[in-house]
Amino acid sequence: MLPAIGGAGLSIDEVAARLAAALGADLRDPRVQEPDTVVATVERGRLHDVAVRLRGLDGLAYESCNFVAAVDYVNRFETVYHLYSFASNTYLELHVDVPRAQPVVATVSDVWPAADWHEREAWDMMGIRFEGHPDLRRILLKDDWVGHPLRKDYVDSVENHPHV
Amino acid sequence: MSDGFELRGLAERVQYPNLSQFERPNVVTTTVDFIFSWARSHSVFPFTYGLACCAIEMLSSGFARYDIARFGMEVFRPTPRQCDLMIVAGTVNEKMAPVLKRLYEQMSEPKWVMAMGACATSGGPFYDCYNVVNGVDKLVPVDVYVPGCPPRPEALFQGLLELQKKIQAMRIVPPVPAAATPADNATPAGEAPAAPSAAAGGAADAAKVQG
């Protein structure tokens, strides 16, 4: 474990404790996973509210969203938000369960503009819709692509290969 | 000099054939096909179409160590309008496919396509990938395939030399139709060889102008 890190002079355990105190039940099961990373789970409906509060947290503001990822666990999806706090030099990893039947989650692109293209990629590859996103188009594949290729149950369509 | 060694100039050591005939204004005879295909095949303008790691080898071919300029092909152009060879160096995916096709159509004739590397030839290691076109020949006609992953500059040059052979085999003068050979061209008895056709051609042209 690294000793006290960051400008705030907080150890990672102190960061985890402060996060738990500040966000209470919204931040489920916060735990230290790496010397500089706290991992926690967030309820799908609470994500946007939690994001706003994390961004404005006094002395521990998670001002940067490094990436948004999506994972297919076959029976459910999960979106992962990797946040960084300049003040404490620590990372926070948020996991959000997304049901397979209704793959919708609130956008955080209004909180962290960097999330915009990441959410578009998650939509493109995994078919997760981000509600409130200003421009949720495909970003990597062509616009008329059929399906979302990184899903485990993806079956390629002939329509996607007009030249064969 | 006393030991028999003599310093001589290049012109003395090398025997150029019949240099004396160029000492005054003169003519050289050749065929139109030969001179055009010679010029074309030694001044190919490649299109900078690097899509993946093959592009690094293509760049390397252009630099001093391998020096594509030895074949007169160093003039890489970023616009299809000025190019006659598209070296597709890398993986073509479904999103790039219509772009590649359009750029090919924007190139001026005559034009050639080289599929460089495994990806452009057949999809290569990404054959089963959902977004990869399995070979650029699904989109445009390919003249030369260069295998390799990626091919070394030497392999690219081998492909360029094969392409030169192909270009040199082209003919721009249309072949004489089979029906028009010796019998038709035979001069009618008693007439000067070129006179009738020249007169007829002149009359036809005059009529056209007047009309």
Q: Distance of CA B35 to CAs A105, A164, B17, B110, B204, Å?
A: 68, 40, 20, 16, 31
What is the interface pTM, i.e. ipTM, of the complex? 0.76
Domain range list for chain B: 35-168
Interchain pair B94, A140: CB under 8 A: no
Beta bridge partners of A32: A38
Contact B78, B50 (CB under 8 A): no
Rounded to whole angstroms, how far apart are CA atoms A66 and A106? 18
Helices and strands (DSSP H and E) totals, chain B? 7, 4
Residue A21 has pLDDT above 80, yes or no: yes
Identify the three-state secondary structure at position B83: coil
Contact list, A139 vs chain B (CB under 8 Å): none
| A-chain residue closest to B92, CA distance | A163
How many Cα atoms sit within 13 Å of B145 on the Cβ side? 15
How many Cα atoms sit within 13 Å of A124 on the Cβ side? 19
| A-chain residue closest to B101, CA distance | A163
Among A61-70, A139-148, B98-107, B191-200, which is the least confidently predicted range? B191-200
Per-residue pLDDT tens digits of chain B, which is 211 residues long: 445 555 555 555 555 566 676 677 777 788 888 888 888 888 999 998 999 999 999 999 999 999 999 888 888 999 999 999 999 999 999 999 999 999 999 999 889 999 999 999 999 999 888 999 999 999 999 999 999 999 999 999 999 999 999 998 888 888 888 775 555 555 555 444 444 444 444 444 444 444 3
Which pTM does this prediction carry?
0.73
* A117 lies within 8 A of chain B by CB: no
Rg (CA), chain A: 18
Domains of chain A in start order, with CATH, are 12-101 (3.30.460.80)
CATH number belonging to domain B35-168: 3.40.50.12280
